Structure 1
Amino acid sequence: MKWMALMKWKIAAAGLLSLLASSITLADHTIVRVGVYENPPKILMGPDGLPSGIFGELIREIALRENWQLQAVSCQWDACLSALRSGELDLLPDVARTEAREREMTFHQRPALHSWSQVFRHQDVSIDSVLDLEGKRIALLAGSVQQAYLQQVAQEFSLQVEWLPVSSLQAALEQVRDGQADGLATNNLFGSHHADRYQLESTSILFQPARLFFAAPLNSHHDYLQRIDHWLTRWSDQPDSPYQRILQGWQTEKPLNTVPKSLWIFAGILIVLLLLALILMKYQRREIRFTRRELKRSDEKLSTILSNLQAYVYIKDLQHHYLYASPKVCELFNCSESDILGQTDEAFFDPDSAAEIFRLDDQTLLSGETLVREEVNKLPGEEEPRTFLSVKVPMRDDQGKIYALCGLATDITEQQRHKKEVHQLIFYDVLTGLPNRRLLLDRLQHSLVNRHQEIGNGAVIMIDLDNFRTLNDTLGHQTGDQLLTAIARRLSHQIRVSDTLARFGGDEFMLLLEDLSADTSVLLNQVEQVLDKLIAAFEQPFILQNQDYVTTASFGVALFSDSQHSAEELIKQAELAIYDAKKVGRNQVRFFDTRMQQQAEHRAELEFGLRRALKENEFILYYQPQYHSNQQLLGAEVLIRWQPPDQPLVSPADFIPVAETTGLIVPMGHWILRTACKQLVRWADDPETAHLTLAVNISAVQMHHHQFVDDVLSILSETGAPAHRLELELTESLLIDNIEHTIDKMLQLKQHGIRFSLDDFGTGFSSLNMLISLPLDTLKVDQAFVRDMHRDPRDLAVARTIIDLGRSLSLNVIAEGVENEQQLKSLRMLGCQCFQGYFYARPMPIDAFIEHCQLPVPLF
């Protein structure tokens, strides 16, 4: 019992010291004035007088790490904006970034939240589209961007709508609840948050996607904004970061916390009880003096144990400040314990190591579970990092609440180094440093087992040096070793990190390719790209004995699908392919599979033909007309065709994939775009054709090319074509990678008037969020849905959804693949007004296009 009393006193003393340290730290806090207006769940005033909601909790998490003291300033929206402009506020959350506001305030770079505006209706009112707003009463925030936008839309559609401007969003909610309004226009987060409580239903009327930021007065507080960007960048990609937890918490419609009056009464009673407890403490002084003596003896024993323990022991608080450091930790940091206490790991480790330690500590504190992990950390002034076997344990009080973290770490750097050296000797070639035959066979066997369990393919490429024995006989084995080392180093630069390049024998190398496509044509492309890099590696001479030495190699390829049994069988097949390559003259590539070898030769012929076609101008453009429902010709989509001399047309399905994998699609795309722009110039000279547009398909390779924007603008400048008559057509597959870079390029081109359309929408990976983020002008209904829409209700439903979605987002919608009158009537009934397909005309050369559309013949 005495020991338990001693421990309780020690804990109480530690609590007092912690409280004192917290009060000292608070004095050094920077006061940040934050404007708070009621717009849950994004921002609202919390019961503790501090900001709450998504933005409120986010700035509180950042303030905790930046030692900021937040001062919440409650205000209405317009008053908050005025206070920010006059400098009475340091930060204002939940501000959409516009050109007008950038002239009045300062923003950080990375958006804190993505949102959009939406119309919400009372559950007893029917509103499905913009046209349903006719005769409705819509409440909205006075002076908001929603009011300006919807009033303009109503004017364009000649709709009679009764607008009900209010001073706060809460007033708008009450009007809908009391039957004074049929719906309200607000941001999607606010409306979704209050939907159940106020009998609201979301509609398909979406508009004005916005990126939301913290704003500061113009040209001031850049340091606050930079730190906000720092934490947003750091937390955005961490699933368990405070940022992600805040979003997940509010997306589940977390209720707002309020403090009931009964709680205040209880707090008052508790204070009275505490005063009584203080009186009772006077009678316990004698026991406390005894407890102090016992604690001192206990501390001396504990200090003796920790001083002789060959491990690093430490305790940190919830803010990752050191509360205790053992002598071994002081030795590691080369400073006294007093210099360590109150500091974080940023004072003792390099930035990357400190960030990783912070992440693991945070994981332990949040999960409440013991964490055992090998950590690789680097101390300033040391060239090599150290490896620690670390155990992190959360410390809990009597109520089970975590109040600190205790860690124990052991330096295992030397053990790891010895282990790595032994592993290197067993599995790696001493001369080249590459994996040896043993490691390659192990990885190959493992990969073959995985291949039978998953969908995919792989390959092995054997590389045998030509005439290597002659080099050894003439210049000696030492020179031969130099060549092998140089080849290993050069080939290693040509492969992916996931590939395995091994030294398989005296003058043989083996390359293991994993995670390749199961599709035969795609697989062939992937292997050929690797082979091109390997062959190119031998084209430059090697320097041996201060002289240039040129050598070649033969390549044998075997695919995982060629072998049904073992790694040894697959390697034997690669050796057979090598033998065949050397038999036909060395410096050759041979596939074990005869059929694939024929396909490789066919693709090589196609690539050679495409290069010739670009030089000899063998490509021609076909035009497929696009019509409005009133029979007016709108323009055309341009499609490339290849006409080799004295041969039939080559299908784009055959040569476009080859052009994309070889990079020839870039110069081919330049030719298509330049030819289309010249045609636009010819049409612009005639009043009857000046209104026509041309849609040009853009591939992913073109869009991701670093000079794409400059090339397009250069062609427009060179030809003088009207930019607003040019429409670049993108596909869903193009949007999978680097979506933000793609949007940035689109915005740059739209500044010059160029239009964009999205093809094949709904057939791939597009989402509503992606769609509203893209600066599109036209949405195309894919022919896959049009073809069977009159027979398959699902295709009809998809087509209707795409058309309604395009109209809600104010996009032009065009249906492609229209082949008969029944399809045309169905599309018209769904509200589609623009069409393209065989019902009107097939793609045709320009002369036939002019004749078909009865256009005047252009003068050249």
Structure 2
Amino acid sequence: MKPPPIHPLDSRHICLSGLLALCMLCAAPSWAQAREVRVGVYANEPKILLGQDGQLSGILGEVLGEIARQENWRLIPVPCDWQACLELTQNGSIDLLPDVAFSAERALHLDFHRQPSLYSWSQLYSREGAKLKSILDLEDRRIAVLAGSIQQDYLQTLLDSFGLHAQLIPVHSLAEGFELVANQQADTAVANQRFGDYQAPGYQLRGTPIMFQPAQLFYATRKGANADLLAGIDRHLREWQDSPSSYYYQTLQRWGGERPRLLVPSEAWWGLAVLAGLLLTALAGAVVLRRQVDEKTRHLKASEQHLNTILDSVEAYIYIKDPELRYQYANRKVCELFGLPLAQVVGQTDERFFDAATAANLHDNDRRVLLLGERVETEEVNRSPDGSLEQTYLSVKLPLRHPDGRIYALCGISTDISEHKKNLEQIHRLAFYDLLTGLPNRRLLLDRLQHALAQHGRNQLDGALLFIDLDNFKDLNDTLGHDMGDRLLQQVAQRLGSHVREEDTLARLGGDEFVLMLEGLHPQHPEAIAQIETVASKLIQVLAEPYALQGRNHTSTASIGIALFSEARGTVDELLKRADLAMYEAKAAGRNTLRFFNPQMQAEVSARANLENDLRQSLAERQFVLHYQPQVDAQGQLLGAEALVRWQHPSRGLVAPGEFIPLAESTGLILPLGRWILHSACQQLVAWAADAEREQLTLAVNVSARQFHHRDFVDDVFAVLDETGANPQRLELELTESHLVQDVETMIVKMGLLKARGVRFALDDFGTGYSSLSYLKRLPLNQLKIDRSFVRDLLSDPNDAAIVRTIVALGGSLDLQVIAEGVETRAQRDSLLRLGCQRFQGYLFGKPEAAQRLEQWSLPAGA
């Protein structure tokens, strides 16, 4: 198990620290011979383990590694199990053994440093449901314990002092002990608290309240040997443990979330030992008390029998559960429901009798009683484990308390109301749903509309009402009959229902009129209009497809009127009226279309539709051109260019990409447009390859997220390279951090395929998104592009300068080129040079222009 990841904001500090350490290492004199130190390593995560790279890991491993770095030691890990490590240390085959608890017996053969490296204690871990609350509960239990450990001797002495009989099972590692418990070959296992809390969840174990033997942990060595190693360890531990921000406490936080705390003096440890002795005395007294309780229990059982007779005669489900949600009592009705005798019900939880969702809901209600002391009265829907049987109960649950007010159990009384609920549901359906289509009727729609308008006033999100009316429906009724009309309405309802979101409301007002209510739309009009237009256009398309009516095809269309919540003055009637009027406008416009009530919105929709039509036509007629913006190095030498698309509109002239690229993205036209851009750019590379002065230039092409994530993108790039004969090593695809939002793993695979062909990659607008550094180091990138927003205020904003410096350092550490875009002044270029940036792009060196101008390019005067 690895330590938790470092926060991305800390990565710049780690990067700089790593570079500084590398410089110091390189500056070290060649005659400084590192001392070899053999270190025993056994699996005791998170304190000590052997990392995947074969080096020491864990808390004590990393701390020793840092000491070794500062002391010029070379650590040689020696893997072994605990007992073998101990023997190898005693005979001198191992120089240092981490994680050794001090004892007088061990001190006869080993030396320890003075400053403890860690503090811990021993604890028992068991499976969920094991009743282990005190030492007395260890009677006749199987206990896995590390062979040759202090815990083994101490626990045996503890059991003997209480007269308890338990089987101690020696194991070679703590992990082996946990595996025995998980496989039910042992009832519990002894482990140090740090290993146990770190590893128990992975074995589905939990810590018990049984804890003993607080211990101070050290690095140990052979008696009389390696005094200098122990002195060096002491020196660093004393310095680090006095500083909450030291490497020692940073390591503790990474592996266990432990915050810096005051060191526990040795007097406190002696105090804990005294308290442990007092605890043993108290437990011995508990043995005597238990015998007295047994006598009283016999008298209570007689009274319990009389109470059971009364409860079994009640026609309700009565039960008692303990704090661990296990049944402690169930009357006759409960046992009949489960089909089991009382003896097989007691001790079980609801997971045995119900499906997972039911058990989770029951547990939530039970915890309200047991933890909060609430009286819960609620309906509970219970399903059998296979889901075949479903019943509804009215349940009342009460806390049962000790005389001092502490809750020790809950009592539940449940009454079956399944039939009553079915009757209510049928009445509700008749009142609020359309019998022909099963959709909400006018009454339910008006209620939901009122609620939606109130929500709109609070959360500021917009909504819309789509009034859908079938075109020429009366003709179908008159010619084919009302039965055919009803079948068409049912098919229309099914088509509409399959193309709307679950959170939207689709209703039938009557006749051939349907209404769709959309909620949670973008509060800004342009974005909301685009969302609504997409949904309405899809519905018009779906409803226009042929219908099968008694073996014959029938074609029907629909007209849709649309009104926005934000334009309806907050009333349901006004909203319905506006949507209805817009629908008639759609009818007047020739049917099979949509209309917005607001004339301004309609104009925007029309303008968007016209622009989309122009875009489609321009794609067919190739009315696009590529302009090229130069990219240069620190000496002003031309390195390559970025290809930027422009739309040569026949009437509007040259259109900037900001006006049509978003529309191309939303309509899917970016796919054919992107293929044309890539093909044209590769043709330009081929033209440059024929010129000795231009053959080494690279050409960067922007790729949209939708284009890159298309399933055929890699094949399209390969096809263009094959068709044009362009050199893939001169082609650079620019991605933005938005590409990382979805399916990063697939993205890495695609990049790897293209990289293997020689294609280069650059990450554009770097620093403006939320890319993870853990992904960044896995991406096969060649270059990072510093976003123009950081360059623009570089001379006036120290934060921008710090960000640029960090990006340059990050690029250097990852062996990536770094280029700054948006460089418009010589002062910006000079500042970037001082910060370490060596590549530039911007108006200072040239605007995007035709390829012929780039081929005549020379460095501007004064740059």
2:298 equivalent among 272, 275, 292: 292
What residue identity is the alignment partner of 1:564?
Answer: R
Task: Please tell me whether the aligned partners of residues 544 and 558 of structure 2 are also in contact (alpha carbons under 8 angstroms).
Answer: no
Q: Which amino acid aligns with 2:440?
A: P
> 1:575 and 1:690, CA in 2 relative to 1: closer, same or farther beyond 3 A?
same
Aligned to 1:263: 272
Contact 2:46 2:59 in 1 (8 A): no
Question: 1:72-83 counterparts in 2 under 5 A?
Answer: none
Query: In percent, how many aligned pairs have the same letter?
Result: 45
Q: SS of 2:493's equivalent? A: helix
Quote the residue 1:449 is aligned against. 454
1:728 to 2:733 alignment: yes
In the TM superposition, what whole-angstrom CA distance separates every residue of 1:96-134 from its partner, at most 9, and x where no partner exists? xxxxxxxxxxxxxxx99xxxxxxxxxxxxxxxxxxxxxx
Asked if 2 retains the 8 angstrom alpha-carbon contact of 1:776 and 1:811, the reply is yes
**Separation of aligned partners in 2, 1:800 and 1:594:** 52
Identify the match of residue 649 of structure 1 among 649, 654, 673. 654
Q: How far is 1:517 from its partner?
A: 1.5
Q: Alignment partner for residue 487 of structure 2, among 479, 482, 485?
A: 482
The aligned runs of 1:381-780 (5 Å cut-off) are 383=388, 385-388=390-393, 409-645=414-650, 648-680=653-685, 683=688, 689=694, 691-713=696-718, 715-716=720-721, 721-739=726-744, 742=747, 745-746=750-751, 749-750=754-755, 754-766=759-771, 776-780=781-785
- Counterparts of 2:691 and 2:715, CA distance in 1: 29
1:46/1:312 CA distance change after superposition, 3 Å? farther
Which structure 2 residue ranges, 5 or more long, are not aligned?
1-42, 49-56, 62-97, 102-117, 132-141, 150-171, 181-200, 203-225
Post-superposition CA distance 1:730-763 (Å, at most 9, x none): 3344444455654565556556554443333444
Task: Confirm or deny: 8 A CA contact 1:555 1:588 kept in the other structure.
Answer: yes
Which stretch of structure 1 is more off in the superposition, 614-623 or 466-475? Answer: 614-623
2:792 paired residue among 766, 787, 790 = 787
* Corresponding residue of 2:354: 349
Paired AA for residue 311 in structure 1:
Y
**Secondary structure, in 3 states, of the residue corresponding to 1:643?**
strand
1:823 equivalent in structure 2 = 828
Paired position in structure 2 for 1:304: 310
Give per-residue Cα distances to partners, 1:703-750, cap 9 Å, x unaligned. Answer: 443444454455556656555544332334444445565456555655
Which residue does 2:848 correspond to in 1? 843
Range with greater deviation from structure 2 (654-663 or 345-354): 345-354
Q: Does the 8 Å CA contact 2:647/2:654 hold for their aligned counterparts?
A: yes
Give the conservation status (yes or no) of the 8 Å contact 2:785–2:820.
Answer: yes
Moved more, 497-506 or 308-317: 308-317
d(CA) in 2 for partners of 1:689 and 1:170? Answer: 65
Contact 1:312/1:410 (CA < 8 Å) preserved in 2? no
The whole-number CA distance in structure 1 between the counterparts of 2:465 and 2:784 is 44
User: In 1, Cα distance between the equivalents of 2:372 and 2:775?
Assistant: 33
Paired AA for residue 621 in structure 2: E
CA contact (8 A) 2:318 2:411 kept: no
Q: Give the Å deviation of 1:343.
A: 4.2
SS in 2 for 1:424: helix
Question: CA, structure 1 residues 807+465, in 2 after alignment: closer, same or farther (shift >3 Å)?
Answer: same
Residue type of the partner of 1:828? Answer: L
Deviations 1:324-381 (A, max 9, x none): 4443332222222333344454443345545666677789878887777655442145
Kept in 2, the 8 Å contact 1:375–1:389? The answer is yes
Q: CA deviation at 1:90?
A: 7.8
Question: Is contact 1:614–1:668 with CA below 8 Å preserved after alignment?
Answer: yes
C-alpha displacement of 1:506: 1.6
1:673 Cα deviation after fit: 2.9
Provide the rounded CA distance (Å) in 1 between the counterparts of 2:827 and 2:450.
57
Distance in 1 between residues matched to 2:232 and 2:248, nearest whole Å: 12
CA-CA distance at 1:256 after TM superposition: 12
DSSP-derived class of the 2:510 partner: coil
Alpha carbons 1:622, 1:846 under 8 Å: kept: yes
1:226-260 superposed Cα distances (whole Å, 9 cap, x missing partner): xxxxxxxxxxxxxxxxxxxx999954638799994
SS at match of 1:536: helix
Q: Quote the offset at 1:820 in angstroms.
A: 1.0
Partner residue of 1:335?
340
Q: Distance in 2 between matches of 1:396 and 1:249?
A: 41
Q: CA deviation at 1:394?
A: 7.8
Match in the other structure for 1:213: none
Distance between the aligned counterparts of 1:201 and 1:803, measured in 2?
30
> 1:422–1:690: structure 2 CA closer, same or farther, 3 Å change rule?
farther
Distance 1:761 1:281, change over 3 A: closer
Instruction: Report the CA distance between 1:657 and its aligned residue.
Output: 1.6
Do the aligned partners of 1:63 and 1:69 also contact (CA within 8 Å) in 2?
no
Aligned position for 1:28? none
Aligned to 2:518, what secondary structure does the other structure show? strand
- Give the structure 1 partner of residue 838 of structure 2: 833
TM-score, normalised relative to structure 1: 0.67
Q: CA deviation at 1:550?
A: 0.7
Greater Rg by CA:
2
Question: Given that residues 765 and 786 in structure 2 are in contact (C-alpha distance below 8 angstroms), is that contact kept between their aligned partners in structure 1?
Answer: yes
Between the aligned partners of 2:850 and 2:740, the Cα distance in structure 1 is 30
Matching residue's letter, 1:814: I
Q: Could you list the runs of 5+ residues in structure 1 that have no partner in the other structure? A: 1-32, 76-82, 92-110, 113-165, 184-192, 204-245, 855-860
Q: CA deviation at 1:306?
A: 5.6
Give the whole-Å Cα distance in 2 for the aligned partners of 1:750 and 1:195.
Answer: 48
Q: Is the 8 A contact 1:177 1:199 kept in 2?
A: no
CA contact (8 A) 1:465 1:508 kept: yes
Distance 1:446 1:35, change over 3 A: closer
Q: What is residue 313 of structure 1 aligned with on the other side? A: 319
Change (3 A) 1:277 1:363: closer
Residues 144, 177 of structure 2: 8 Å contact kept = no
Distance in 2 (CA, whole Å) between partners of 1:62 and 1:725 is 62
Kindly provide the amino acid, as one letter, of the partner of residue 570 in structure 1.
Answer: L
